Amino acid sequence: MRFISFTTKGLEFVVEKEIVSLIPHVSVIEEADKRIVFESDADFKILTNMKTVDDLGLLVYQSSDFTGLGQLDAIIDEIDLSSVQEKLNNFRPINNTFSITPSVVGVKGFASDELVNNFRAGVEKKYGWEYTERDHSNFDIRLFVDHNSINITVRVTRESLHH
């Protein structure tokens, strides 16, 4: 499985060292500002013991070719959030509600609320799940758009690890 760990800018090297030392048979795929992408089959309990990571998500989708909201329907068609829900349900109870946490950096042409509303509509239509705007503790989908790249993740824990 691919994961993405979000951290404070400047601590990426420290987070990578912790990931490599804590997680057996891990493969670091990418280091970028505020995030490390890695692959591992480790138990979720091991992953949630990291101390330098602010938030940890299962990486559902990643592209460096994101041009705007018009691509969201195709992306939603491509991803399988049901299998992510099933994996997380083996770690902690999950129901059929979801939330969205957006992070939009250096993008022109749409605002984060437009991104959320479009993605929300697609997920509701495809899965029939109920959107919860304020409660991010069940199945929190994080949409991280940085210029022309997009990472879609689902938080592993009920709360961010920095809590």
Sequence-ordered strand ranges (E) for 13-88:
27-32, 35-39, 55-63
Report the DSSP beta bridge partners of residue 31: 36
Instruction: Check whether 29 has a pLDDT greater than 90.
Output: yes
Query: 39: helix, coil or strand?
Result: strand
**Residue 112 and residue 119 in contact, taking contact as beta carbons nearer than 8 Å:** no
Residue 160 CB partners (closer than 8 Å, separation 6+): 54, 55
Question: Which helix (H) or strand (E) covers residue 134, if one does?
Answer: none
Q: Which long-range contacts (CB under 8 A, 24 or more apart) does 16-19 make?
A: 18/50, 18/51, 18/52, 18/53, 19/50
Is 33's pLDDT higher than 90? no
pLDDT tens, residue by residue, 148-158? 899 999 999 88
Are 141 and 51 a contacting pair, CB within 8 Å?
A: no
pLDDT in tens, 66-102: 989 999 999 999 999 999 999 999 999 999 999 999 9
- What phi and psi values does residue 121 have, to the nearest 5 degrees? -60, -40
**3 state DSSP class of 36:** strand
CA 38 to CA 118: how far, in whole Å? 28
Tens-digit pLDDT profile for residues 95-136: 999 999 999 888 888 889 999 999 999 999 999 999 998 888
pTM of the model: 0.91
Q: Rounded to the nearest 10 degrees, what angle do helices 81-89 and 112-127 cross at? A: 80
